[in-house]
């Protein structure tokens, strides 16, 4: 250390002298490169420069040896020599001069100062060359490959951990502060007990360093994370995290690494019992039951016909390898999982030698490796047999029939898919890309070949199957129809096969291929992952190769395969016809799965479970029964016990000092104010978008008739999917694909901001949004398409309307079975406000029940329905209350404004409006007739789980609401409700939502085995909160999580759209800062005040339950004794039971 300090001082003195002497002689025409400096200076200066370079080189070598011998990162040795002087960003000549030192990468240490200094060029060039050679080296890892991803301007290093053989990819992204970590293990199951899935849940329930019950939940509560989850695939388990805060990011990484490598679950069987399954019994006279989070989650999955179809298809296509079983777990098999099997699976596969570790972001790349090595150093390399074998292809097609439960009142419609296993050896990158484009040609849009033919056949209600699936070792393709009559099942299969054969012979039209290729290329180059972390998208893309021991980097590179594919197409090769012939038409590894409705299946499954449990209980001795009761009690006590202060103290935490107290603002400019409401307001957002313009056009639709609200979903689809006077449906779709990155229509419905108070429920914002994106040169075409769609869409296309209504009905029926909680929350809101009514009639249970009536109207009274659609267009598409929102590079924004002006001028003129919109005037008159009755309801459906929703207003319009309420709602969701509904109750989810705008609080449960018990939890929440001992640490944890929600990273288009919504809603920067201030000032008193507010739900709340007939009947028996029963109806019809 002493020698190094002496050397540093000598270097500093030498450099200062050199700098001082050269500076005295320099003028404005001084040479700018090191070579010019040397040849235009006297010999003394040449000697000094040479001496300087020699000393620096000696110092670097000395420092590297010292650092490597002590296991320290070289980066810290290099920095002092490079920071002796403030250096400038070098110009091109200096960069060129430095290239002979090695590949150049601009150092972060280059800052403002001493411009045009030749000496700074020398210092930089030495620094860059050494950093490029050594800064990524670490004594615990060997470098397998240093790579670039030029498509996204990224660099990375592929390492192998010397001691364990763990594979590590570290990507440096200087411009992305959203850091990502993930560790993935190959976990091929041998049976359907769901052990990989149960382990995925269980390892996050405490570990060696962090011995709390559920550190995962603690991280959810008090982290700035923007992604925190885990995935179970059929052959791997993945644990990713993401955060923009570096301290927070490393906290997350520490917890996740300790969790997967040293989980508490291996020593505590209660974790398996809680997350997987256990027998539950509280009284000897009661029947034995199964409980467990994964068990109930999978019962929900197995209640969905779509999920059953997908699982049956996969298992039939892969009878001989690990994909032939269910990694998620079959509810019939999950209770076969023993604690010994559970531990053995972890021992076999959760070892560093079987891991793939990924880092991404702008943090210190060496610190990542140091942190990881802390955990890997505990292990030695071992051989892990986890490779997935290829499924051999069979010679003849197979057919399979699978039953699914239906409601007795529902029509007995079938489902059918035809599926192929495509490859029996690895595909190259070009072929994978070509298959993706082929999938888009077949199914990507409503006008794509196969989707269009199946839809127009009228043999079913909705296309299903999913098309290409390429996440596993072997790719598959699946397509078919749902809502098929029994007599048409064979026709569907024949149509699929004949269509594939015909397309392989006749091929695709040139403009279809051009549109598909442009769409794919736009998506690849834009790399817009929305709110999903970019680094995580890269990781998952790489993992599709990496997990199968292929080159991971090739999984995300696209330039070479795209170029090769374009060349093949340009040369006239029938690329897509050949792919169809090879992988589909001539491929006999084909499975046809028919899903047959079974009226008795739900009862049969319940009876089989009850019989199985009864036999288990009968086989128990009296002592075993008592032991089961004791274990049930002990498990519940453990679940409800608080973590000790010592255990809590082990968790890494953030403090208030880690939170930015200033609200983040998005830049905007109002280019045209439209104060007279006769044209359009134009807003721009100057953001870096890499040459892409994101455009949003918002039309106020508050002048439509109240009874026409139900038509809004059909109206938006008809605009986009019927063609126009100039282009038919197919031609329009291809024009969009060939010239833009996509165009779509949606709705924004909200209440205007009341600046910290509950808003008036009639003060609504209702906008139809047309959104699109295009590169600069194609912006005029995009706005031409906008105008063509809005003014000329064929709203008189009866055939397409009927097809859309059938598809919508089928999708909503499937959604009720898998998302009953959202239908329940929508139902509650439909009892109280205009917005609630709107959401109920457009996307709630009412919309499903009325779908049949609308379909009948489209089929038998089309002129009347078509006229209503045209009336909607005339009321909405016009100048006036129009907002055009543009997000793009500053120069681009100026370029496109004339195009936008032309678009606005070509819109129909604004109509003269009254003081109050037509919709609101009609709502005032019909409010009482339109609102749903305020009552407790239950809607029965064929399901093994329930969705329990309860809520109501706790603030009145005009009352002030502090933003601290969001902290408390979060505290309840990740605390009391998580513990009582999920952990103890066994539901897959239990949470709460509170809206400061509406003053409404809602409880929700998801895939819940209980009903009445969950309602009891909801009703006890206010009391529990009022008696909770909320510490300062609890509040800090909850408010940090709330701030994390506010500060989630956004892509440029998301920023532009978010800013638009803020402006439409009337939310100001001062409002956002007030909200942030109130969150950061949350106090214990706020918790007490909110508890008192929650007590109002006793008088204002109502209930909506979606679940099984048996669960509803059992709940009503007990509720009858309280004089409080649920009104029961089948979910799919309106007839009262």
Task: Give the residue numbers annotated as catalytic, written as ranges.
Answer: 200, 275
Q: Could you say which DSSP state residue 25 is in?
A: H
Under a CB-based contact definition with an 8 Å cutoff, are residues 90 and 121 in contact?
A: yes
Q: Tokens 């991803």 correspond to what residue?
A: 149
Nearest to 893 by CA among 593, 1034, 692: 692
- C-alpha distances out from residue 1118 to 610, 838, 1121, Å: 21, 34, 6
DSSP characters for 860-913? H-HHHHHHHHHHHHHHHSSSSSEEEEEEE-HHHHHHHHHHHHHHHHTSPPPPP-
Under a CB-based contact definition with an 8 Å cutoff, are residues 969 and 1079 in contact?
A: no
Under a CB-based contact definition with an 8 Å cutoff, are residues 724 and 788 in contact?
A: yes
Under a CB-based contact definition with an 8 Å cutoff, are residues 185 and 373 in contact?
A: no
| Cβ contacts of 1018 within 8 Å, gap of 6 or more | 948, 950, 1003
- C-alpha 558/C-alpha 1009 separation (Å) is 46
Question: How many angstroms from the chain centroid is the CA of residue 577?
Answer: 34
Under a CB-based contact definition with an 8 Å cutoff, are residues 277 and 197 in contact?
A: no
- C-alpha 671/C-alpha 697 separation (Å) is 14
- C-alpha 48/C-alpha 42 separation (Å) is 10
Under a CB-based contact definition with an 8 Å cutoff, are residues 744 and 771 in contact?
A: yes
Structure token pair of residue 901:
């002006």
Under a CB-based contact definition with an 8 Å cutoff, are residues 40 and 46 in contact?
A: no
DSSP characters for 221-241? HH---SEE--EE-SSEEEEEE
- C-alpha distances out from residue 944 to 155, 300, 380, 987, 1108, Å: 49, 6, 45, 12, 6
Under a CB-based contact definition with an 8 Å cutoff, are residues 320 and 314 in contact?
A: no
Q: Could you say which DSSP state residue 981 is in?
A: I
| Cβ contacts of 393 within 8 Å, gap of 6 or more | 421, 424, 587, 588, 589
Number of H helices, E strands in the chain: 44, 27
Q: Tokens 């028919």 correspond to what residue?
A: 594
Residue 537 region by backbone torsions, left for phi larger than 0, else alpha for psi between -120 and 50, else beta: alpha
Structure token pair of residue 769:
């949004």
Q: Tokens 């099942």 correspond to what residue?
A: 489
Question: How many angstroms from the chain centroid is the CA of residue 669?
Answer: 30
DSSP characters for 276-316? T-EEE-SSTTSPPEEE-HHHHHHHHHTT-HHHHHHHHHHHH
- C-alpha 653/C-alpha 248 separation (Å) is 8
Under a CB-based contact definition with an 8 Å cutoff, are residues 386 and 165 in contact?
A: no
Under a CB-based contact definition with an 8 Å cutoff, are residues 430 and 569 in contact?
A: no
Structure token pair of residue 866:
């078509």
Question: How many angstroms from the chain centroid is the CA of residue 807?
Answer: 25
Under a CB-based contact definition with an 8 Å cutoff, are residues 241 and 533 in contact?
A: no
Q: Could you say which DSSP state residue 619 is in?
A: H
- C-alpha 1088/C-alpha 925 separation (Å) is 40
Structure token pair of residue 1108:
């099984």
Helix/strand/coil for 367: helix
């Amino acid at each position: 250390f002493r020698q190094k300090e002496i050397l540093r001082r000598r270097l500093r003195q030498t450099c200062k002298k050199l700098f001082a002497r050269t500076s005295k002689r320099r003028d404005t025409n001084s040479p700018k490169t090191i070579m010019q400096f040397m040849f235009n200076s006297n010999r003394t200066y040449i000697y000094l420069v040479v001496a300087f370079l020699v000393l620096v080189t000696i110092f670097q070598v000395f420092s590297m040896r010292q650092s490597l011998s002590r296991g320290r990162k070289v980066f810290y040795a290099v920095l002092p020599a490079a920071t002796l002087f403030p250096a400038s960003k070098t110009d091109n000549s200096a960069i060129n001069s430095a290239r002979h030192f090695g590949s150049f990468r601009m150092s972060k240490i280059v800052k403002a100062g001493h411009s045009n200094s030749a000496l700074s060029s020398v210092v930089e060039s030495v620094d860059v060359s050494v950093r490029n050679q050594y800064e990524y080296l670490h004594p615990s890892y060997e470098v397998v490959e240093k790579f670039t991803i030029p498509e996204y301007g990224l660099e990375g290093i592929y390492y192998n951990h010397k001691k364990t053989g763990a594979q590590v990819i570290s990507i440096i992204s200087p411009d992305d502060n959203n850091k990502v970590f993930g560790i993935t293990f190959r976990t091929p199951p041998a049976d359907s007990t769901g052990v990989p899935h149960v382990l995925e849940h269980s390892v996050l329930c405490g570990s060696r360093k962090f011995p709390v019950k559920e550190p995962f939940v603690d991280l959810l509560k008090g982290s700035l994370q923007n992604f925190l989850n885990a995935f179970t695939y059929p052959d791997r388990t993945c644990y990713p995290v993401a955060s923009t805060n570096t301290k927070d990011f490393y906290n997350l990484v520490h917890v996740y690494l300790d969790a997967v490598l040293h989980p508490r679950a291996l020593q505590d069987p209660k974790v398996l019992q809680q997350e997987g399954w256990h027998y539950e019994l509280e009284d000897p006279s009661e029947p034995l039951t199964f409980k467990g989070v994964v068990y109930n989650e999978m019962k929900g999955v197995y209640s969905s016909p779509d999920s059953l179809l997908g699982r049956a298809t996969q298992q039939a296509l892969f009878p001989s390898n690990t994909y032939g079983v269910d990694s998620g777990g079959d509810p019939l098999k999950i209770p076969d999982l023993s604690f010994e099997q559970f531990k053995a699976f972890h021992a076999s596969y959760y070892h560093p030698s079987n891991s793939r570790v990924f880092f991404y972001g702008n943090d210190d790349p060496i610190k990542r490796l140091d942190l990881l090595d802390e955990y890997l150093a505990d292990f030695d390399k071992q051989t892990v047999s986890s490779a997935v074998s290829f499924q051999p292809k069979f010679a003849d097609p197979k057919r399979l029939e699978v039953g699914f439960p239906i409601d007795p009142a529902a029509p007995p419609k079938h489902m059918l898919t035809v599926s192929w296993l495509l490859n029996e050896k690895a595909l190259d990158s070009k072929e994978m890309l070509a298959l993706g484009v082929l999938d888009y040609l077949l199914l990507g849009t409503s006008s794509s070949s196969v989707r269009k033919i199946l839809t127009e056949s009228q043999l079913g209600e909705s296309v299903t199957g999913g098309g290409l699936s390429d996440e596993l070792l072997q790719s598959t393709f699946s397509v078919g129809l749902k809502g098929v009559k029994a007599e048409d099942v064979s026709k569907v299969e024949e149509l699929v096969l004949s269509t594939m054969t015909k397309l392989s012979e006749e091929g695709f039209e040139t403009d279809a291929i051009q549109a598909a290729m442009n769409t794919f290329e736009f998506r690849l180059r834009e790399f817009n992952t929305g709110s999903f972390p970019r680094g995580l998208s890269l990781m998952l893309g790489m993992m599709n190769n990496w997990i199968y021991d292929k080159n991971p980097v090739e999984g995300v590179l696209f330039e070479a395969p795209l170029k090769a594919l374009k060349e093949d197409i340009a040369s006239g090769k029938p690329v897509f016809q050949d792919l169809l012939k090879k992988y589909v038409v001539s491929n006999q590894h084909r499975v046809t799965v028919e899903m047959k409705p079974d009226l008795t299946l739900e009862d049969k499954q319940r009876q089989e479970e009850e019989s199985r449990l009864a036999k288990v209980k009968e086989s128990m001795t009296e002592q075993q029964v008592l032991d089961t009761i004791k274990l049930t009690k002990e498990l519940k006590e453990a679940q409800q016990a608080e973590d000790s202060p010592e255990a809590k103290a082990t968790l890494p935490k953030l403090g208030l000092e880690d939170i930015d107290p200033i609200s983040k603002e998005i830049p905007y400019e109002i280019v045209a104010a439209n104060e007279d409401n006769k044209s359009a307001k134009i807003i721009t957002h100057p953001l870096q978008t890499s040459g892409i313009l994101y455009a949003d056009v918002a039309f106020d639709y508050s002048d439509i008739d109240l009874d026409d609200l139900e038509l809004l979903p059909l109206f938006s689809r008809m605009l986009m999917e019927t063609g126009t006077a100039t282009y038919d449906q197919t031609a329009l779709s291809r024009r969009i694909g060939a010239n833009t990155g996509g165009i779509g229509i949606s709705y924004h419905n909200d209440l205007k901001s009341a600046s910290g108070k509950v808003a008036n429920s009639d003060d609504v914002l209702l906008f139809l949004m047309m959104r699109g994106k295009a590169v600069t040169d194609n912006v005029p075409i995009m706005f031409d398409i906008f105008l063509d769609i809005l003014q000329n869409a064929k709203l008189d296309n009866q055939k397409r309307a009927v097809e859309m209504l059938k598809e919508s009905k089928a999708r909503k029926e499937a959604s009720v079975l898998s998302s009953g909680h959202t239908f329940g929350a929508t139902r509650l809101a439909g009892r109280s406000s205009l917005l609630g009514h709107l959401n109920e009639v457009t996307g709630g249970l009412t919309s499903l029940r009325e779908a049949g009536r609308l379909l009948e109207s489209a089929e038998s009274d089309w002129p009347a329905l078509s006229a209503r659609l045209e009336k909607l267009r005339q009321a909405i598409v016009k100048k006036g209350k129009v907002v055009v929102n543009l997000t793009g590079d500053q120069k681009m924004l100026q370029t496109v404004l004339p195009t936008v002006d032309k678009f606005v001028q070509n819109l129909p003129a604004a109509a003269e409006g009254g003081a109050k919109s037509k919709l609101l005037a009609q709502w005032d008159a019909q409010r009482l007739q339109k609102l749903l009755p305020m009552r407790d309801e239950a809607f029965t459906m064929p399901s093994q789980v329930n969705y329990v929703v309860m809520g109501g207003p706790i603030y009145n319009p005009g009352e002030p609401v502090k933003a601290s309420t969001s902290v408390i709602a979060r505290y309840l969701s990740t605390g009391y409700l998580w513990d009582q509904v999920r952990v103890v109750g066994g539901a897959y989810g239990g949470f709460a939502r509170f809206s400061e705008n509406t003053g409404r609080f809602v409880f929700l449960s998801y895939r819940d085995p209980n009903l009445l018990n969950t309602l009891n939890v909801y009703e006890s929440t206010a009391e529990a909160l009022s008696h909770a001992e909320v510490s300062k640490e609890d509040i800090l944890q909850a408010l940090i999580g709330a701030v994390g929600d506010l500060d989630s990273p956004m892509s440029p288009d998301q920023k532009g759209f978010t800013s638009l919504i803020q402006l439409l809603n009337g939310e100001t920067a001062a409002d956002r800062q007030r909200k942030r201030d109130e969150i950061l000032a949350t106090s214990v008193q706020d918790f007490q005040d909110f508890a008192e507010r929650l007590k109002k739900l006793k008088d204002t709340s109502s209930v909506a339950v979606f679940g099984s007939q048996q669960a509803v009947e059992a709940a009503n028996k007990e509720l009858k004794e309280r004089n409080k029963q649920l009104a029961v109806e089948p979910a799919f019809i309106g007839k009262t039971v």
